[in-house]
Structure 1
Amino acid sequence: MKRQKRNQIERAFSKGYNAGIEGRSRSLCPHENGNMRQTWLSGWREGREDHWDGFNRAAQAQKLSNF
């Protein structure tokens, strides 16, 4: 848990990825602007693509652990 708090960029990407996988709207991004917003949206886009491509939960978890 402490590692996640230190690396906010990785955390923003994984939160965005999870939101994309779950089909949530990109307008739910918690960041107003800047690098964190761009990172969250990048994760969201990748999550949506993986969802559309039919990735299963194991592939999604593996992908997040590699980031």
Structure 2
Amino acid sequence: MKRQKRDRLDRAFSKGFQAGVGGRSKDNCPYSNLDSRSQWLGGWREGVEGRLNGTFTK
């Protein structure tokens, strides 16, 4: 059970990261669960930061 929960949170983070790198708005977060939403937003922040620094491109 713990592995499934961790995998869902990892997936939320990676989807948020992809959205951040892609330049999507953080308002497009598809999660309403607090844990998943915070993971998605964390990934989104890292993706946006990497895109702005030039580390990642679309």
Q: TM-score range by the shorter chain?
A: 0.7 to 0.9
| 1:32 to partner: Cα distance | 1.5
Structure 1 runs not aligned, ≥5 long: 1-5, 58-67
Deviation >4 Å, runs of 4+? none
Deviations 1:5-35 (A, max 9, x none): x410110000000000000000000012410
Gaps of 5+ in 2: none
Instruction: Give the TM-score, by structure 2 length.
Output: 0.83
CA distance in structure 1 between the partners assigned to 2:33 and 2:45 by the alignment: 17
Q: Residue in 1 aligned with 2:12?
A: 12
Q: 1:9 to 1:34 in 2, by over 3 A?
A: same
Instruction: Please provide the CA RMSD for this pair.
Output: 1.2
Give the TM-score, by structure 1 length.
0.72
Partner of 2:29: 29
- Identical aligned residues as a percent: 46
Q: With a CA cutoff of 8 Å and minimum separation of 6, indicate the structure with the bigger relative contact order.
A: 2
